[in-house]
Amino acid sequence: MSTTACGRLIVCPTPIGNLEDVTLRVLSALREADVVACEDTRRTRVLLERYGVSAKLVSYHEHNELPRATQLVARMQQGDVVALVSDAGTPLVSDPGFVLVRACVAAGLAVEVLPGPSAAVSALVASALPSDTWRFVGYLPRKRSELGTLLRAPETIVAFESPNRVAASLAVLASADPQRPVVVCRELTKLHEEIVRGSAGELAERYAAEPPRGEVVLVIGGATLSEPELAPALAALRKLVEAGAKPRAASTVVASLTGVKANALYRALTQDEPA
């Protein structure tokens, strides 16, 4: 199916706190759209009124995603332009939108994604923790066993967390590795923005005494590999290098297969080389 004769979907990130963070392209798309699908029409209307944008709004949230997506796809097939927004940040990133985007792709409709605010990326950058390899996990799992498994990941973890559960999640982390670096990012871009860095043990104690308020993003440093975990990956890397592979490229390949960080492999390899 050709997309030129049909409408399209424009995915529009919106500010995560400060309304001045909206982009000019997003405002232009909201003005252009025949209909704006939004998680909460009341929240979106505040943004539109701030910038004098007049648009037809329809609700699109986790409880009506499937039927609403069907309706919106039908409109786009008739030539309408639909803008998709969530309450804050980028749609689909722990927000509704996946069903609609997948339905548009299946129908051969164009999907345009605009750049914009993301609490996960803002927190990662502000954390000052390694960002060469990182994992966004949405909200942390509630089961202690699942959380413990996740926290053994060697890469930096970025997660949303309920302020009421921050202390409990940090306590689980501190019980396994009290020195693990953690950053608690609270109310990003808002008036009372706060970024607190420390060890898992320090922050677990701090927030057990006084739970944080507002929206929270946790950034957790990668778990330290034990020698048994590192050893087989390093052995495979040595074989590749001995066969003629370049160390950096070989480290990347072994990392993709084992989950061990490429930088950790490269450092271990070069430290073992004779001076």
Q: What is the CATH number of the domain that holds 22?
A: 3.40.1010.10
Q: Among 102, 117, 132, where does a domain finish?
A: 117
Lowest-confidence range among 67-81, 183-197, 213-227?
A: 213-227
Residues of the domain holding 194:
120-220
Residue 203: CATH number of its domain: 3.30.950.10
Does residue 89 sit in the same domain as residue 21? Answer: yes
On whether residue 93 sits in a domain, the answer given is yes
Does residue 146 sit in the same domain as residue 239? Answer: no
The pLDDT tens digits of the residues spanning 171-184 come to: 999 998 899 999 99
Does residue 14 sit in the same domain as residue 104? Answer: yes
Q: How far, in Å, CA of 216 to CA of 195, rounded?
A: 10
Q: Mean pLDDT across the stretch 50-76?
A: 96
* Chain centre distance of CA 173: 20
Residue 1 has pLDDT above 80, yes or no: no
Does residue 164 sit in the same domain as residue 203? Answer: yes
On whether residue 170 sits in a domain, the answer given is yes
On whether residue 2 sits in a domain, the answer given is no
pLDDT at 228: 52
Q: What is the DSSP string of 48-61?
A: HHHTT----EEE--
Does residue 266 sit in the same domain as residue 197? Answer: no
Does residue 207 sit in the same domain as residue 149? Answer: yes
On whether residue 193 sits in a domain, the answer given is yes
Residue 270 has pLDDT above 50, yes or no: yes
Sign of CA dihedral 64, 147, 213, 88: negative
Does residue 86 sit in the same domain as residue 128? Answer: no
Structure tokens that stand for 140 in this block: 């942390």
pLDDT at 257: 86
Does residue 101 sit in the same domain as residue 13? Answer: yes
On whether residue 20 sits in a domain, the answer given is yes
Q: Mean pLDDT across the stretch 6-13?
A: 94
Residue with tokens 């910038």: 51
On whether residue 3 sits in a domain, the answer given is no
pLDDT at 117: 94
Does residue 18 sit in the same domain as residue 113? Answer: yes
Counting residues of the chain whose pLDDT is more than 70, the rounded percentage is 95
Does residue 193 sit in the same domain as residue 106? Answer: no
Note the pTM of the prediction, 2 decimals: 0.77
Q: Is residue 188 within 8 Å of residue 122, measured between CB atoms?
A: yes
On whether residue 1 sits in a domain, the answer given is no
Close Cβ partners of 175 (under 8 Å, ≥ 6 residues apart): none
Does residue 42 sit in the same domain as residue 82? Answer: yes
Q: Among 60, 93, 117, where does a domain finish?
A: 117
pLDDT at 229: 67
Q: Among 203, 220, 237, where does a domain finish?
A: 220
200: left (phi over 0), alpha (psi -120 to 50) or beta: alpha
On whether residue 28 sits in a domain, the answer given is yes
Domain count, the chain: 3
Does residue 147 sit in the same domain as residue 88? Answer: no
